[in-house]
Every structure is written in C-alpha cells, then in structure tokens.
Amino acid sequence: MNRLETYLSGIKLKNPVIPASGTFGFGQEMARFYDLNVLGGISLKGTTGEERFGNPTPRIAECREGLLNAVGLQNPGVDAVVAHELPAVRKIYDGVLLANISGFSVEEYVAVARKFDAADEIDILEINISCPNVRHGGMAFGTDPGAAQEVTAAVKAVTKKPVYMKLSPNVTDIAAIARACEAGGADGITLINTLLGMVIDPRTGRPIVSTKMSGFSGPAIKPVALRMVYQAAAAVNIPIIGVGGISTADDVLEFMSAGASAVQVGAQNLVDPFACPRIINELPRKLDEYGIGSLQEIIGRSHKL
C-alpha cells in the first residue's frame, strides 16, 4: 500500500498534495520545472462562462505576511478551456484533475458545470462560491447558507461527477455554510479561499492593489484555515480539502489531523515553484519520524483526542 495515498469521493490520489486553483494556471507553465505526475491532483485555473480579462493592474502585491491578489478571474472561458487547455494538460499529466468553476449567477455556475461534467479529462468539479452574486447586490454566494445551498443543488442537478464547494472564510459561521452545502448535495468541500485584506503604500497613503481590498493568502492565514477545517469537519460527513498557508509536510499533517482528506498548496507555489514536489518528498520522512503508518490513519484524529 502507498502510505501517502488518499481518497476524495472514492477517487484515489497517489498523495494528498494538490496545487490550488489560481496558483498553477492550467499546468503548462509548471511542467517546465518538474514532472507533474508526482502530484496528487491539480486544481485548474478558475473558469467562467465567458472569457474574462480580469481586474486592472496593479492586481498583485506582496507584504511581510503573505500575498494579496485581485486578478479578477482572468480566464479564456469554459469553451476554450475544454477545447484547448484540457487536452493539453492531459498530454503531460495523468492524475486527478479538478475543474474550478466560478460564476456570477446560479445559471452561469450551472452552464459551466454542465460543460465540465461532459469533459472526459475532468474528475472533480470544484465550485468557487466566493464570487459576488450580481443579482443580489454583490454579496458572495458563499457568505449566505441559503445561497450556498441553492448553488450546490443547482449544480448537482446537472452533473454526475463529484462536486466540491470551495468556501469563503469571510463569514462568521463556517460550519453553517458547510452544512448548507452538504444539504444541497455536495460531495465534498474545499476551504478556505482567500481572506479579505489590504495593503497601503506608506509614502502616499494609496492602496497598492487597484481594487483597494483584495484576496489575502500565504503563511499568515494558516491558523485561520486550520480552525475552519476543524470546525467544518465536525459539522459535516463529506470529505474536505484543506487550503491556506501550507508550505511544509508538517502543515499537511496538521490539516489532515484536523479532518482534511487532501490539501491544496496555493501562494507557496508562487514563492517556490518546487513547493509541491518538495512537500511530497518530505512526507514519508515525517511519517517515519512521528511513527505514522499511513496518512489514512491520521485523518480527523484531532477530533478524537
């Protein structure tokens, strides 16, 4: 048995390490650095119904604590992704692929999900509900349990593949959102997405990112992400993919102990392109050091102590 293998809705991953959507493109760029087949899975760049240019620049800013971004879901649209990006990544990668889907209405989520569900290359649909609901004043779908459940149920009605809802951390009760997604039929959840942050130029007093506030990621968000994974794992009975500030094998073990079945590495890919294979290579040594037989043994163990 492979000590590192794990499962998401019955789908086997050779290890739990997945590059997070938005930090890995569609795989082509990173394939120049290493063989992508070492990865447990890949969450592809967020995709909408139509092509999007994204937000005006500047839309990336570094800070001591991590990274802020307001890329704005720049992508070529679902039809171009299905026609060109999926066949291209399958030429270089044979593992688990997650299609990350974004939308600004329930209808858009449904339309994009239906097209990815029909794509043979895709194994799991990951639904990003941190997007603003344009029909309800811009409030993100993922900040309201009713809206989260509505999107989940609508997508599940048109798909056969596992559906994982990617949750926003910008809420007061993450467990309530997780339960709403489970009630809507979700096969799993991914959390967390970026926190809402800001960085200001001290010389001018001007916000550096064009949107003023933007998504904050990196090492500083890990304790928040870990807490939310722990809370969600106690609230639902579906698999969880943990995300937020992961940069080492120890981080992976923490998230799996909190209840995650797999993890995603985000901002660290931009700091160190070799972060994912390095973490994967570190894991067997850490299992030996801590007397752990396999990763399957530790999923959710913190809840039993």
Catalytic residues: 131
| Positions of E strands within the chain | 6-8, 11-13, 17-19, 41-43, 60-63, 66-69, 96-101, 124-128, 163-166, 188-191, 195-198, 213-217, 240-243, 262-265
Paired tokens of 265: 């590495």
Q: Looking at the DSSP assignment, which residues form a beta bridge with residue 214?
A: 197
Cα Rg of the chain (Å, integer): 18
Using CB atoms within 10 A of its CB, is residue 160 exposed (0-12), middle (13-18) or buried (19+)? Answer: exposed
- Beta-strand pair 124-128/163-166: parallel
Host H or E run for residue 152: helix 145-156
User: Among residues 238, 244, 281, 284, which one has the least CA distance to residue 39?
Assistant: 281
User: Among residues 164, 171, 175, 100, which one has the least CA distance to residue 141?
Assistant: 171
- Beta-strand pair 262-265/240-243: parallel
d(CA 97, CA 89) in angstroms, rounded, equals 9
